[in-house]
Structure formats: structure tokens, C-alpha cells
């Protein structure tokens, strides 16, 4: 079943998710989860999400475990999330729906929500969105979310959808301190299929043009984002040898590869 976004998030790939290459593995890993909109398109597969932001992790953990009944019991009318007698994670979920395309949940309805809520009932928090989320939660029970940095995830054979904070525009995210050359080497050393997203101008991998996305309408109209892509199955340096990967990662990060190897073996059952 194809699911619609569980929350609106800055940098969401929802509208272009089906234009990326189809996943070749049953296991899909999103090391920079955010709204995880690529995985939503293939929700019945094994989905493993990771993010550094405790708010993102909290919202996904809540959604993965919440019953439809619990979601339907959330208040539909919200003036301020701190007034809600619900858990913090549910407040964050509602807060993401009080605005559009933000990196953090809002506390009270945005001006856009106040103006458009009744004309566009499926855009902001209200009975329509609550109903939609309630109808979808049973489809993500088998997903997992972990608060961890991308570089701690073992390299298992999977489809890796890598959508980090962009080198130029990524500063809007609470967590955006990325060593891009290291991330590029990390991407090359993943096992399986690797799909990497960036903006035009990024050079930390040999990206090729992908799509132009129109941003959300704002005061100055939707800003255009020129997206680029790198995958490891179209002539980029494919899978590096084990030794190449070890020496690259050691050189760039000074990682003790012996302890890393033990961690990888320990998580083979993913
Ligand atoms: C561009 S967003 C992902 C958007 C997502 N693909 C979507 O469709 O909604 C990038 C995410 O990476 C997370 N992040 C930043 N640094 C990270 C790190 N070192 N490890 C894991 N996640 C990180 C941010 O918190 C943010 O949620």
C-alpha cells in the first residue's frame, strides 16, 4: 500500500519519491530519515530509519506503536500544543501539521493554517489528517526507528536512500554538521544499492542532474530547487573493495576498524 506523508517536513521527497530508482532490496534503510517519504512509497518492505534529531525519532516511534484508536482520540482543534493532554510525541506530531515544510514542530497554528484550514482540510491538522494517519499506522508496525548518526549504521545489503541535509541549504536542520567528503566515502562503501540526493552545486560525489522541484508556496512564491542524484549502479565507482573502504574510512575518520567489524557482525540479523 502506498502511504501519504505522516507529517509535513522541510526537504521532503514525497512528490519525487517515485522518480528515484526502484528499490532492488526488500530491506530499505534511510540513514537521514526526516519524514521518510521514500520509504512511504514501499511501506510493506522492511524499513529501517535512523535520525539524529530526537523529535523526529520520537514522532516516528510514536507512530510505529500508536493504535488507530489512539490517533483518533487526539483533539482535532488545537490553539496551542502545550494545552493538549497527550504525550510529548503526539504534541510534536500535531505541531508538524500546524505549518508546512518546517524542520521543527510549531506550537500554534501558522498564519497559513489560519487562512487555509477550512478551504483545504487535508493540508493542516484537523479531522481529515487525523483520520488519514489513523488509517495508516497499522501499515508501519514492522518499521524501526533509531536515534543514531548515519556513520554508526552497519553496512548490510539493502537499498540505502541517503537524503542528508544538503551541503548548502542544510543549515536549516537542527542537526546539519556533516563531513561531506567522509559521507561520500561512506556512501561508496555501502553494501547493496545506494541512492544519494543533493542540490545542484554539490561535489562530494559525482552527482548528475535529476529534477527541478518547486518548493511550497510562500510569500514570494515557491522557490525552485535543482536536485541532483548519485547512485552506485550507473557507472559511478561501484562498490569499493573491502580494503579500499577500510583504508578510506580509517584515513578520513580515524575509526578503529576492529571494533567496527564486531558491530557489523552483531547486526547481521537486521
Ligand atoms: C533532508 S532531511 C530528510 C528528508 C526526508 N528524506 C524526507 O523525505 O522527509 C535530513 C535529515 O537528516 C537528519 N540528520 C542530520 N544529521 C544527521 C546524522 N549525522 N545522522 C543521521 N541523521 C541526521 C536531520 O535531522 C533530518 O531529519
- Regarding the beta carbon of 53 and ligand 1, being less than 6 Å apart is answered yes
Same domain, 169 and 214: yes
State which ligand 1 atom lies nearest to the alpha carbon of 56: 27
Does residue 27 lie in a domain region?
A: yes
* pLDDT tens, residue by residue, 139-174: 999 999 999 999 999 999 999 999 999 988 778 888
Higher-confidence residue of 44 and 234: namely 44
Which residue lies with its CA nearest to atom 20 of ligand 1?
149
Distance CA 47, CA 242 (A): 25
Same domain, 166 and 106: no
- Regarding the beta carbon of 99 and ligand 1, being less than 6 Å apart is answered no
pLDDT, residue 242, reads 67
> Nearest-CA neighbor of 63 among 167, 125, 148, 135?
135
Q: What's the CA angle centered on 104, arms 168 and 175, to 5 degrees?
A: 45
Residue 213 to residues 18, 155, 208, 227, Cα–Cα distance (Å): 13, 31, 15, 7
- Regarding the beta carbon of 173 and ligand 1, being less than 6 Å apart is answered yes
Does residue 46 lie in a domain region?
A: yes
pLDDT, residue 232, reads 95
Distance CA 128, CA 118 (A): 11
- Regarding the beta carbon of 166 and ligand 1, being less than 6 Å apart is answered no
- Regarding the beta carbon of 143 and ligand 1, being less than 6 Å apart is answered no
> Nearest-CA neighbor of 32 among 168, 188, 194?
194
Give the range of the structural domain holding residue 203, as residue numbers without chain letter. Answer: 14-52+148-266
Same domain, 205 and 238: yes
Tell which of 81, 109, 140 closes a domain. Answer: 140
State which ligand 1 atom lies nearest to the alpha carbon of 166: 1
Q: Which residues contact 119 (CB under 8 A, 6 or more apart)?
A: none
* pLDDT tens, residue by residue, 82-104: 999 999 999 999 999 999 889 99
Bridge partners of 211, per DSSP, are 227
pLDDT, residue 256, reads 43
Same domain, 230 and 114: no
Given a cut of 80, is residue 267 above it in pLDDT?
no
Same domain, 179 and 260: yes
Does residue 122 lie in a domain region?
A: yes
Same domain, 156 and 251: yes
- Regarding the beta carbon of 186 and ligand 1, being less than 6 Å apart is answered no
Amino acid at each position: 500500500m502506498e502511504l501519504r506523508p505522516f507529517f509535513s517536513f522541510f526537504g521532503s521527497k514525497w512528490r519525487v519519491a517515485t522518480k528515484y530508482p526502484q528499490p532492488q532490496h526488500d530491506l530499505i534503510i534511510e540513514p537521514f530519515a526526516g519524514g521518510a517519504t521514500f520509504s512511504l512509497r514501499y511501506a510493506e518492505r522492511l524499513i529501517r530509519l535512523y535520525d539524529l534529531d530526537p523529535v523526529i525519532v520520537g514522532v516516528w516511534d510514536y507512530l510505529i506503536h500508536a493504535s488507530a484508536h489512539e490517533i483518533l482520540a487526539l483533539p482535532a482543534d488545537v490553539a496551542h500544543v502545550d494545552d493538549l493532554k497527550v504525550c510529548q510525541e503526539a504534541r510534536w506530531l500535531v505541531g508538524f501539521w500546524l505549518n508546512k515544510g518546517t524542520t521543527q514542530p510549531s506550537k500554534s497554528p501558522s498564519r497559513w493554517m489560519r487562512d487555509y484550514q477550512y478551504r483545504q482540510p487535508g493540508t493542516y491538522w484537523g479531522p481529515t489528517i487525523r483520520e488519514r494517519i489513523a488509517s495508516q499506522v497499522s501499515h508501519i508496525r514492522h518499521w524501526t526507528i533509531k536515534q543514531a548518526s548515519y556513520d554508526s549504521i552497519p553496512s548490510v545489503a539493502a537499498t540505502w536512500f541517503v537524503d542528508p541535509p544538503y551541503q548548502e541549504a542544510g543549515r536549516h536542520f537542527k542537526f546539519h554538521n556533516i563531513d561531506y567528503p567522509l559521507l561520500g566515502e561512506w556512501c561508496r562503501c555501502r553494501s547493496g544499492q545506494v541512492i544519494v540526493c543533493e542540490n545542484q552545486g554539490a561535489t562530494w560525489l559525482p552527482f548528475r542532474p535529476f529534477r527541478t522541484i518547486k518548493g511550497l508556496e510562500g510569500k514570494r512564491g515557491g522557490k525552485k530547487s535543482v536536485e541532483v542524484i548519485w547512485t552506485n549502479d550507473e557507472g559511478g565507482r561501484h562498490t569499493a573493495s573491502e580494503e579500499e573502504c577500510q583504508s578510506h574510512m580509517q584515513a578520513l575518520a580515524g575509526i578503529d576498524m576492529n571494533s567496527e567489524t564486531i558491530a557489523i557482525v552483531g547486526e547481521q540479523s537486521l
